Amino acid sequence: QVQLVESGGGLVQAGGSLRLSCAASGRTFSSYAMGWFRQAPGKEREFVATIVWSGGNAYYADSVHGRFTISRDNAKNTVYLQMNSLKPEDTAVYYCASTQAYMVTAYLTKSGSYAYWGQGTQVTVSS
């Protein structure tokens, strides 16, 4: 049973920073791509960032490129999302997700590519 547990959300002023963490358990974490998605009230869940299994490459949504950084520590079974220069429009529930595709190097930006999801962590950015 794969489990993903996010932490690190909270309330921050515009221009501030937060770092989200997602701890994984239940299988070999290092062999699978990980992603971050977010969902704002009244909107569909959207892709934020993804990182390949080895951690060597990452891909970002245009809306966060240059401000957010995804990384992973395979020794700690944890993926991170460092969020800088936060804007009110970044306010959402943030979810981490894991694929079932073994050692895939493609960038997976669709929610349907991910089989396992965390419970989400709220990020609120005040203006």
Number of H helices, E strands in the chain: 0, 11
Phi and psi at 49, nearest 5°, equal -160, 155
Give me the residues of the chain with pLDDT under 50, please: none
> Tens digit of pLDDT for each residue in 49-72?
999 988 889 999 999 999 999 999
pLDDT of residue 9: 97
